[in-house]
Amino acid sequence: MRKTGVLLPLFLGVVLAQSVSGILGRVEENLSTPWQAVIQGKIQTPSGEEALLARVYALPKENLFRVEFEKPASLEGNFVVITEKEVWNYLFLTNQLVISPKEKAQIQGLGFTPLGDVKDLAERVSFRLVGEVRLEEGPAWKLLGQAKEGQGFAQMELYVPKADPRPVRFVFLDEERKVLAHLRVTSFKRAPLKPQALLRYPKDAQVVRR
């Protein structure tokens, strides 16, 4: 009996851990074909709360993602491309394309960008399953993630519908559980994307390699 009492939390821990990896595995499988989506919501910036609207394009098999910003207005025209080894930041106002190795890249606050790159996300955030909730999209798992250092946020809530396992909502929180960003994924669709389209940038941009 005593033994069972000691083992029970361990056993439950293993079951939950498996559940999280199982859910993330299903997300990865579900998002393994090319897709595009819109991410929108509110983010906290130094000047207060602002609306965020970004289009995400993904070629998961090629490890290629592109995020184009439309809101806030100060970021419109800026985009980020994440390749297997590099992060490209295009800055519209200075017309610069800053190319960094992934390990040097600044992607703080952009925890949603690799929303199809579950392995990468799981490396930066350790998730646990909190329970199930009912969303507009139907019953969904709620995962709570503890961010590793240097992510720009402390915790992350991730909502994954059971019927169509892919992230549909993200909530980023700081150490004091204050909401830094509340984002929703809309207009999700499978799309025949080409790598050249995701890697496209204005030819007159100044390319800066770090």
Partner 1 sequence: MLPRGLTGVGAVRKGVGMWLPAKSPSPTGTRSAPMRPRGLKGALILLFLGLPALAQTLTLGGYVDKSQLTPTLELSHPFSGFTFELRATREALGLGLQRALELGPIGRLAYGGLVALGPGGAGGRVFLQGGVGPVALEAALAYAALPWKALWVGENDPKGLSGRLKGRFRLSSREVLALSLAYGDAGLGLLPWGRPTWGLEGVYAFREGPTYTVGLGHRGGPYGLFGLKGELDEEGSVGEVLLRAGARTALEARLYTSIGEDALRLRLALAYPLYLALEGEWRGLGLEGACGQEGYALWLRYRWAFGSEGR
Residues that bind partner 1 (CB under 8 A): 67, 69-70, 73-80, 89, 91-96, 98, 100-101, 104-110, 200-206, 208-210
Q: Minimal distance in Å, beta carbon 50 to partner 1?
A: 10
Amino acid at 200: R
Q: Minimal distance in Å, beta carbon 24 to partner 1?
A: 25
Q: Which is nearer to partner 1, 11 or 201 (CB)?
A: 201
The answer to whether the beta carbons of residues 129 and 115 sit under 8 Å apart is no
| Alpha helices for the chain (secondary structure H) | 2-30, 118-124, 195-198
Q: Minimal distance in Å, beta carbon 31 to partner 1?
A: 22
Q: Which is nearer to partner 1, 13 or 101 (CB)?
A: 101
Which residue is it, tokens 């390699």? 209
Cis peptide before 72 (omega within 30 of 0): yes
Q: Which is nearer to partner 1, 21 or 108 (CB)?
A: 108
Q: What are phi and psi of 4, to 5 degrees?
A: -60, -40
Q: Which is nearer to partner 1, 80 or 125 (CB)?
A: 80
Integer Cα distance of 57 and 64 in angstroms: 8
Q: Minimal distance in Å, beta carbon 13 to partner 1?
A: 36
